Structure 1
């Protein structure tokens, strides 16, 4: 172990930045603390404008060579990174659980395999990325995807490595170089990703990782004139600041922001399935942007639905996420726990009633909560809590269900539980959402567009949509004649 290395369950992690193929220290550090029990994991290099400038310069220097790298070679290197991830799934899972408190079993079985899949998917999609030539009055049109340049990728703490690689993989596949800034509450697996990419043979400067606070290093990245793409996942207020800093250089943005998604339960639904879908919204201690936190139930079945929901919810086991039997772990930070409880206490003051929960527990754990007697215009219905807190409202008919569902400033996702396929089609067509799930939840395919409407985001990524964002699209038009004879 060195002064720049920390250890989590036997896994050594370098706490410095990764810039231009080298580890770079900073004068200052910040403390990384595990939400599981408050253990200090280590001191992390705290970057600022100087580190941001160095990382962008490294990405800019590496860009011409990486952009000119043939597609097949870029794809090969992305598959090599995926191989490296798969070899270290257990290590990555252990470290990420310690860093963000999500379930170890989920990291092992789902999240880290998805990290590898992110690289494999976009590597394979790159090789088949094509648009058929077409003619205009005898002229041939040829569409191409040209690498755009250095990309700043700013990622959240609720699924750190998976959401980082959801951005890193398509950006690299597109031929862009990358500066990745992970959330300061969960920096560790991004550092391990830098090691894995280097071991896979990714050229120096193609992937850079910098750590620190948004106001210190994030702003320096998003306002840099040499950054040609910015992708951000996080809160609406932060997105506004990023958009303002990017505006002088007209840097294209992809923003995946908050949600206040509805779950619509109609009387003809399978109520056991609907209750299971509602309980699933407590996944990751409610720290999921897509979570359907507003449960809207047809009045005639509200009492029965609530009974089934409570029967299932009270059986959830909350505790140490490293335990295989745990269903709900801690919330990420004391500040987040205080924010969650503030929402709930203000809801109580406004007349809400807790069906279950409604209070913090020991440490950074918040009891799974369902609130009823809430008004549509109340804060608890309108604002994203980002914790294990659901609200329940009733509706009389489809029109009211849709009105309530669409009655916030968000539009990230929606879930519909119904036994009538015609109703499912009719209702889903009226919902303002980037994704609608019918009788299911969180089924995600990387070839589908992903993003939000209204204040839930700008743009779509996934499949060809990712390449559309990370590239400059070019149309080359060739005349049918005018060629000289070179015979």
Structure 2
């Protein structure tokens, strides 16, 4: 089995150590991966720093052209990348083919085009002209999660490169393969050496070293709250700005006037990627009047979900990413049972399939304050609570330390207009879910993160925003 090496300064670089990458489909090895640390991180940051001046001076038009060339390369390899990522992280092949990999290409095209239109109108102050510009910040450290590796990497990478920065990407150790494939695509597209670098490794080694580099100008991280605290502390030593997109314990508010068929469809969507989605609205808050009918329909739908090999296009639920993660999910479920929660569906691993497959689970009668209502499980586990009225629904929705997103299902636009401003969330969906436009701001409140990215907000983070004030020129 060949070694997947780092990509540093436009060439493959080996390490003295490696780690084995396992497929969650069958827990069998799929690759040996170079295990980077302080040495490789310093080398990558140095390469990115050396490449920065020329890349920052490259015209907007040329940077945009190269990003479109990268998108072309992704589109030529959609099937290859989709199968590679499904093998590596266990997400559904049909999702990768139909949505995820096309979105990867779109990330590059969108930010390339947004760059060309990025401007702020000049304005006057007592005859003086104010001109706002976005100057590239320098070397950006991007640390990405395992649940949607390439899409979330390019969501950060595309605006960072478009802005004129150079990048060191550290992918998650449980799903590193598509980041390495992307390096080959960028080289083929003509991206200059050192502009994009990939260092693989463990978070405590490569990740920790990367965020503590004094030559890093920005850190963008998607992942857990505990890791974000460590990253924030390290970045603070150098006053490095950070963008943190963290976990969630998001609510679905289903009111009595909701379309029940729609409400059940949206609830089922929360099992997407076997529940390994930060945006999943896993706390179902249902009006008392419709709770029995909604629950009956939902349990029936859960029972009809098809679980199995994610490479089968008819599969609805694949495996958990790793043995350690499955045990973590199962620990939450076991403790919820012990606290008195009642299982309506699932409740444990899928014994028929074995391996890392966990049954889609639904709890009700959960005691107030129970762990399963407060902490992110990041697995196929939903809870169902009822509410009396609008006020209680909002109180329950906001009753966690998170604030990533929320879902409101109602037949009343007036109710939606009352409820949505009172929800603590970076994104609120009304009668829909997972509709993402790259022009919109994205991020979380409370422990769900710091900052917003998307559209101009991405350039605001990845750049030093400058205002140049000019006195009137003598005639």
Which TM-score band applies after superposition, normalised by the shorter structure?
Answer: over 0.9
Q: How do 1:157-306 residues align onto structure 2 when only pairs under 5 Å count?
A: 157-306=146-295
Structure 2: distance between partners of 1:455 and 1:367: 28
Match among 365, 376, 394 for residue 357 of structure 2: 365
Name the residue aligned to 1:126.
115
Q: 2:472 corresponds to which residue?
A: 480
Q: Distance in 2 between matches of 1:371 and 1:441?
A: 22
Q: Distance in 1 between matches of 2:302 and 2:471?
A: 66
Aligned equivalent of 1:380: 372
Residue 377 of structure 1, CA deviation: 1.1
Structure 1 contact 265–417 (Cα < 8 Å) conserved:
yes
Match for residue 430 of structure 1 among 399, 409, 422? 422
**Of the candidates 439, 443, 450, which is equivalent to residue 435 of structure 2?**
443
1:336 & 1:432 partners in 2: Cα distance?
28
For residue 390 of structure 2, the aligned residue among 387, 395, 398 is 398
1:470 corresponds to 2:459: no
Deviation track 1:62-112 (CA, whole Å, cap 9, x = no partner) reads 000000000000000000000000000010000000000000011011000
Give me the whole-angstrom Cα distance separating, in 2, the residues matched to 1:428 and 1:151.
34
Name 1:453's counterpart in structure 2.
445
Shift of 1:397: 0.3
The 8 Å contact of residues 219 and 243 in structure 2, kept in 1 or not, is answered as yes
Contact 1:376–1:404 (CA under 8 A) maintained in structure 2: no
Question: The residue matched to 2:216 in structure 1 has which SS?
Answer: coil
Equivalent pairs, count: 472
Shift of residue 437 of structure 1? 0.3
Instruction: State how far apart, in whole Å, the 2-side matches of 1:390 and 1:48 are.
Output: 38
Give the SS at the match of 1:152.
Answer: strand
Shift of 1:375: 2.6
Structure 2 alignment gaps of length 5 or more: none
Structure 1 residue 38, shift from structure 2 partner? 1.1
1:414–1:431 contact (8 Å) kept in structure 2:
yes
Aligned to 1:178, what secondary structure does the other structure show? strand
Distance 1:109 1:343 in 2: 32
Is 1:37 matched up with 2:26?
A: yes
TM-score (norm 1): 0.96
Runs of 4+ in 1 over 6 A off after TM superposition: none
Indicate conservation of the 8 Å contact 2:2/2:31, yes or no.
Answer: no
Work out whether 1:415 is the aligned partner of 2:407.
yes
Tell me how large the CA RMSD over aligned residues is: 0.8
Q: Which residue number in structure 1 is paired with residue 300 of structure 2? A: 311
What do residues 309-343 of structure 1 show as CA deviations (whole Å, max 9, x unaligned)? 11211111000000011000000000010000100
1:89 matches 2:89? no
Deviates more, 1:309-318 or 1:380-389: 309-318
Any stretches of 5+ residues in structure 1 without a counterpart? 5-14
Task: Give distance in 1, aligned partners of 2:207 and 2:239.
Answer: 17
Query: What is the alpha-carbon distance in structure 2 between the residues aligned to residue 405 and residue 82 of structure 1?
Result: 39
CA distance in structure 1 between the partners assigned to 2:11 and 2:261 by the alignment: 54
Alignment match, 1:23: 12
Instruction: Indicate the residue corresponding to 1:9 in structure 2.
Output: none
Q: What is the SS of the residue equivalent to 2:113?
A: helix
1:150 partnered with 2:139: yes
Structure 2 distance, partners of 1:308, 1:276, is 10
Give the secondary structure class of the aligned counterpart of 1:394: strand
Give CA-to-partner distance per residue, 1:174-224, whole Å, 9 cap, x none. 000000000000000000000000000000000000000011111111010
Is 1:328 matched up with 2:328? no
TM-score by length of 2: 0.99
Shift of 1:3: 3.9
